[in-house]
Structure 1
Amino acid sequence: MASSASIPPLDKISLVGGWVETALWGISSVVFMGVCWVIFLKTDSKTNRWMLGTTSIVLYILATVHISATLRQLLEAFILVPQPPQPLFATLYFSNETSPLALLKNVIYTTVVFMQNLIVIWRFYIVWGRNWRLTMIPLVIEFSRAGVAYAGTIILARPGIDIFGSTLRDLGLISWSLDITVNVTVTSAIAGRLWYMGRKLSIASSSDTRIQSTYGTAMVTMIESGALYAAVTVVLLGLYVSDSPATLVAIDDATQIAVLVPMLIIVRVGLGLTHGLPRAYRSYVEGQAERPVSFSMGPLRFPHRRKPTNFGGQISVNREVVTTDLSKNLADDLGMSDFKGTSEDPEDRSVKSSDPLTSHVRVW
């Protein structure tokens, strides 16, 4: 029998990890309520409502089942202890990865990561003009990664398997390495495409007023969210490589973060909680001079009116705001329709351009 000194304090590690996971689930619950409001209750939510809504609901249900299993484990390890109590019962309890609750949590983690990566790939598909040929590359990598991850989960459920053994180590390294690769490359491709389209839109604008593009705001949001999950995966990989006993507990916390990241993108974009947006609106409003302009960001409107100078006649100066059908469709698909600048001028005319990114330019 191994001495107590050779057994890691899994009871303390699991207790702390359970508290952290509970806090993360609480944050996810608040964000999930924001997602439901943005997707289902906002009157201007249109495109892909059911796609984003269904995936968010499924992810939140999985996160809730996962935290429920964690709390049940804490009860069985510390409260529902068989009498007489066995020495180091809680530590030995959490070291058993073949129990039904442990197996359930491992399956949920693998499924949540799989769904989270599919959502990122779906956004890649939307941003890159629904080009399914390009989308097949990350899809093949992700399905391969998921197959390796599920194989490792099945092997881990066998009695007597060492989590840091050679077989599981190889599968874990492959799975987490591919996970990082998919997230970093796909997120970078999305950000690069948004930067390119935002630049083309800025060049196509004939207005002297400089507006921070919706694409730039969405690009920063995607990079921040992708970096958050990638950092968590790197931490998991580092813990596993160092044979840390906190690896499995960190997986529990990573499950909640994997659920939180895609929902956080929806809420941040839908509510305008993105970097630089208030400053962009303020700069644009301050630059207007001769006409009433209002900006719509969800249900809030920020009007700005200045009285035009009277030179003895009626002079009306129109500022041009450039948008494209492509940008409008992209905004609807990613839930960014609230970021459109609108004016009160009822006239709407079209200007043709040879650039496919700037065709059907609308001028208000």
Structure 2
Amino acid sequence: MGITLPEASLVALFLETLFYGVFFTLYWLTLVILLKKCGIQRDLLIPVATLLLCIATAHLIIDLIRALEAFVFSARTIGADAYYSNLASPLELAKTALYITQPTVADTVLVWRCYVLNNRSLLVGIPGCIVLLTNGAIGYYIVWCLSRAGVGSTVYTIAPGFITTFYALTMLISSLISWRIYHSRRCMSDNPTHLLPVLIVVIESGALYATTFLTGSNGQYPAMDIGPPVVGIVFCLIILQVHFHVSNNPRPSKSFTNPFGERGEQNVGHSMKLVIAHHQGDGDHSV
């Protein structure tokens, strides 16, 4: 027996709250690290991380309000099943728009990072932007289709081809760009394997969304609702992984460019200056 729509919605709310707590914790850790940086890392990544947190927070608040409406305020008049079946509800549309905006924002940063790693090549940046804009347009078109949904309509009868395309493109964009970043790190760094767990999370999460939708199960709703916090978690994990594994590299034998566009030689040069200053200080005392 499959899970009912109200049951799936409650499970989705529980899992979303759980993952949101993880994202919230990682966000503050990331913020502390980025506040010590300067340049593009601080000016770009802090606003993006904050925007992702705001979107995930708004998404969670909408789900909490919908749960109260379905199981408390409208339980005797409409019923939970009928309430959640109304795809044209303003809260449902707002929730779906936020769900589409979250990966679009995160993928924009991935496209930019991939563009930087490939020496700012337009052959990488332009196709990435085109695919990203196409996927975003498809996502918001789905929201428009949902706004015109009638009574008894389901997500499987409203633009199913566009929904499948959106999932496929989202997974393709994240997977290809993440793999390109990992490949570049493998060529430029002695220890690139720390990005593998993040890459695996991206691929598996995208495959989960697509699989649950294609099987026609209500299990897609928990998979969808954890999307906004999971996107934020992956974003923060990439920053934390790069910080702890690159900046603490004890043997920077060659220059490298990290995924945020900074040269590793700057850190090495700064360390060398400290060492020289230290030895000069020792020499002064000996005289």
The normalised TM-score by structure 1 is: 0.68
Residue matched to 1:38: 33
Alpha carbons 2:209, 2:223 under 8 Å: kept: yes
Shift of 1:188: 1.6
Cα distance 1:70–1:152, how it changes in 2: closer, same or farther (>3 A)? Answer: same
Residue in structure 2 matched with residue 185 of structure 1 by the alignment: 176
Quickly say closer, same or farther: Cα 1:332–1:179, change in 2 above 3 A: closer
2:233 is the counterpart of 1:254: no
Aligned residue in 1 for 2:238: 265
Count of paired positions: 273
Verify the 8 A CA contact 2:12 2:221 in the aligned structure 1.
no
What residue in structure 1 maps to residue 283 of structure 2? none
Paired residues of 1:46 and 1:332 also in contact (CA < 8 A) = no
Deviation string, structure 1 residues 87-131 (Cα, Å, up to 9, x no partner): 7x1122112121111111100010011111111111101211122
**SS of match in other structure, 2:159:** helix
Q: Does 1:76 align with 2:72?
A: no
8 Å contact kept, 2:202–2:234: yes
1:197 aligns with 2:206: no
- Superposed CA offset, 1:302-343 (max 9, x none): xxxxxxxxxxxxxxxxxxx6443xx2x547636979985945
Q: Secondary structure at the match of 2:73?
A: coil
The aligned counterpart of 1:14 is: 9
Question: Greater relative contact order (Cα 8 A, min sep 6): structure 1 or 2?
Answer: 2
Task: Return 5+ residue gaps in structure 1 as ranges.
Answer: 199-212, 285-320, 348-364
Quick check: which has more Rg, 1 or 2?
A: 1
Q: Which amino acid aligns with 1:97?
A: L
1:157 matched to 2:87: no
SS of the residue aligned with 1:97?
A: coil
Decide whether the 8 Å contact of 1:221 with 1:265 is kept in 2. Answer: no
How far apart are the structure 1 equivalents of 2:155 and 2:141?
13
* CA distance, structure 1, for counterparts of residue 48 and residue 171 of structure 2: 21
Alpha-carbon distance, 1:266 to partner? 1.5
- Please provide the CA RMSD for this pair: 2.8
Output the TM-score relative to the length of structure 2: 0.84
AA aligned opposite 1:70:
D
Identity %: 18
Distance between the aligned counterparts of 1:334 and 1:73, measured in 2? Answer: 44
Amino acid in the other structure paired with 1:26: G
**CA 1:194/1:105 → structure 2, altered by over 3 Å: closer, same or farther?**
same
Decide whether the 8 Å contact of 1:21 with 1:253 is kept in 2.
yes
2: CA distance, partners of 1:191 / 1:269 = 11
- Alpha-carbon spacing, 1:10–1:339, altered in 2? closer, same or farther (3 Å): farther
The change in CA–CA distance for 1:221 and 1:138 in structure 2 (over 3 A counts) is: farther
Say if 1:154 and 1:332 are closer, same or farther in 2 by CA, change over 3 A.
closer
Q: 1:337 to 1:96 in 2, by over 3 A?
A: farther
1:111-158 deviations in Å (ceiling 9; x for gaps): 011111111111101211122232112221121111111111210222
CA distance in 2, matches of 1:184, 1:101: 30
State the match for 2:122 in structure 1: 132
2:275 maps to 345
Any idea what SS the aligned residue of 2:80 has? helix
The structural deviation recorded for 1:187 is: 1.5
* Unaligned stretches of 5+ residues in structure 2: 278-287
Between Structure 1 and Structure 2, the one with more strand by share is 1
Q: In structure 2, which of residues 44, 55, 68 is the aligned counterpart of residue 62 of structure 1? A: 55
